[in-house]
Each structure stands twice: as structure tokens, then as C-alpha cells.
């Protein structure tokens, strides 16, 4: 029987970000052993042209769950990256029996009553220890420098070029960034693993440890990669996901 996987991207990205990891997963496990889909949040990927005004995180979660069910998947390993970690508890709250395990890949989770924007802050990293902060000036207009530093610091310019050409064109609904009511009571009900990226400049390892604790995971696995591990080390991530399943 095939193992079912659903992959959810982070902010400023779409389902396309998972192509390499899903291909590696099929290569490692065999096509007959894997069924995998990559989801798009409203406003992202294949849904980029969707109007998302007024959509809440609850609306996003309901749509993503419906996408999984429409694909006919059950007993799902849900793999999410970065901002996806905030949607995953809402998804499990809606359909807890749909998911076998959650795999958080360098995900974040704000404190109760805190929004994503407040969690990240507006300062360079280290100025306010209560904020994740930014490795480069967030007010800087040099988007290429910011993307290379935060997302592709473990890749060459040549390797990163195909992803740099696409990143930032997708946008989760604005309301998901101001969301502050998180379903903390759902955390831990579905077994979960956190994949900690040791070279991550977007969410540094110490913050990832904090987020893993907040997400109440039962396992933490480390990988020597930056934030976009699915692009820089897809085979390593595929192996982790396969073993966690």
C-alpha cells in the first residue's frame, strides 16, 4: 500500500517549490510506494490569480483540507515549510483523522495573541530578543540580497537562479499575517516531527528549537541546510520525510 504525502509551501512561494523533493521521494521509495500532492494556498501557485481579500487562516485550512480529500488521500503525512506551520494546526483541527503525522520543516508558530508580523518584528536580528528579526535591513530595497541571505545562503547564485526568478510572486492572504488566535489546544494531538535546518538564516536554529517546543513535536531531526532545504538538499529532505513516515 502506498504512503500518502501532502506538501504545503511557505510564504511567498507555491506548490512548485516541492517538485524536487517529491521527485526524490519517488526515486527513493519507488512510484508504487508513494502518492504525493503539493498544495497551493489561496493566492499561490496555481491559485495565484485568486482574489483572497477577507480570507482567514481558517478559510485557508478548510480549502487545503478539501484539496487533500478531493485527491482521495487518507492517513496522510502532512509536510509543511515555514509559514505552513501556522496553517497545519487549523487543518488537523478540522480533520484530525485525516493525518497520520505532521512534519514541520523549519516552521514557525507565534505566541498566543501574537501575529506573524509581530513575531518577526521590524528590526535587524538581535536588536529585540523577543523578535526573530531579520538578517538584513528589512527596509532595504535589494530583494535579491535579502532572498539570497535568507533563503538560498547554502546555494550558489547559479543554483539559486531558477528559484529566485519565482519566489515572491505568490502571496498568502493578508489576513494570515495578522492572525493572532492560534489553536494551541490542537498541538500534540497528531504525532509530529520538526526538521531543524542548521544553516537557516530566515529562522535561526535557536528560534527553530523554540518553535518546535511550541508545536509540541515528539521528534526533532537536524539537517545541514538553509531555509530552502527542499531546493538545496531535496534528497536529504526526502529521506527524512520517508523515514518519519
Mean pLDDT of the chain: 95
End-to-end CA distance of the chain: 13
Average pLDDT of the residues in 61-85: 98
**Per-residue CA distances from 15 to 67, 80, 156, 233 (Å):** 13, 11, 23, 17
pLDDT digits (tens, 9 = 90+) for 114-154: 999 999 999 999 999 999 999 988 887 678 888 899 999 99
**Pair 92, 190: CB distance under 8 Å:** yes
pLDDT for 1 equals 82
pLDDT for 171 equals 94
Where are the chain's structural domains? 3-118+171-244
Question: What is the per-residue burial (b if ≥16 Cβ within 10 Å, else e) of 34-49?
Answer: bbbbbbbbbbbbebee
pLDDT digits (tens, 9 = 90+) for 164-215: 888 888 999 999 999 999 999 999 999 999 999 999 999 999 999 999 999 9
Q: Give the rounded percent of residues in the chain with a pLDDT score beyond 70.
A: 100
Give the three-state DSSP class for 17.
helix
The arrangement of secondary structure in 3-118+171-244, i.e. its CATH architecture, is 3-Layer(aba) Sandwich (3.40)
pLDDT for 141 equals 67
pLDDT digits (tens, 9 = 90+) for 74-127: 999 999 999 999 999 999 999 999 999 999 999 999 999 999 999 999 999 999
pLDDT for 20 equals 97
pLDDT digits (tens, 9 = 90+) for 5-24: 999 999 999 999 999 999 99
Strand order in the sheet with 99-105: 34-39, 3-8, 76-81, 99-105, 192-197, 219-223
Q: Using CA atoms, how far apart are residues 158 and 108, in angstroms rounded to an integer?
A: 29
Q: Using CA atoms, how far apart are residues 184 and 74, in angstroms rounded to an integer?
A: 24
pLDDT for 94 equals 97
pLDDT for 47 equals 97
pLDDT for 143 equals 80
Amino acid at each position: 500500500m502506498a504512503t500518502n504525502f501532502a506538501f504545503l509551501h511557505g510564504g511567498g512561494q507555491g506548490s512548485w517549490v516541492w517538485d524536487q523533493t517529491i521527485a526524490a521521494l519517488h526515486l527513493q521509495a519507488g512510484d508504487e510506494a508513494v502518492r504525493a500532492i503539493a498544495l497551493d494556498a489561496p493566492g499561490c501557485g496555481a491559485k495565484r490569480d485568486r482574489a483572497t481579500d477577507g480570507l482567514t487562516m481558517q478559510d485557508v485550512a478548510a480549502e487545503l483540507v478539501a484539496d487533500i480529500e478531493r485527491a482521495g488521500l487518507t492517513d496522510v503525512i502532512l509536510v509543511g515549510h515555514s509559514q505552513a506551520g501556522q496553517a497545519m494546526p487549523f487543518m488537523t483541527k478540522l480533520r484530525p483523522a485525516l493525518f497520520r503525522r505532521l512534519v514541520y520543516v523549519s516552521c514557525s508558530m507565534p505566541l498566543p495573541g501574537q501575529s506573524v508580523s509581530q513575531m518577526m518584528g521590524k528590526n535587524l536580528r538581535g536588536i529585540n530578543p523577543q523578535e526573530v528579526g531579520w538578517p538584513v535591513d528589512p527596509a532595504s530595497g535589494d530583494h535579491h540580497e535579502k532572498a539570497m541571505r535568507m533563503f538560498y545562503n547554502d546555494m550558489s547564485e547559479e543554483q539559486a537562479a531558477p528559484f529566485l526568478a519565482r519566489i515572491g510572486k505568490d502571496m498568502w492572504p493578508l489576513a494570515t499575517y495578522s492572525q493572532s488566535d492560534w489553536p494551541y489546544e490542537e498541538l500534540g494531538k497528531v504525532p509530529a516531527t520538526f526538521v531543524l535546518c542548521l544553516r537557516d538564516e530566515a529562522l535561526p536554529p535557536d528560534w527553530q528549537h523554540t518553535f518546535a517546543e511550541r508545536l509540541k513535536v515528539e521528534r526533532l531531526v537536524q539537517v545541514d541546510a538553509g531555509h530552502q532545504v527542499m531546493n538545496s538538499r531535496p534528497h536529504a529532505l526526502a529521506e527524512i520525510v520517508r523515514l518519519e513516515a
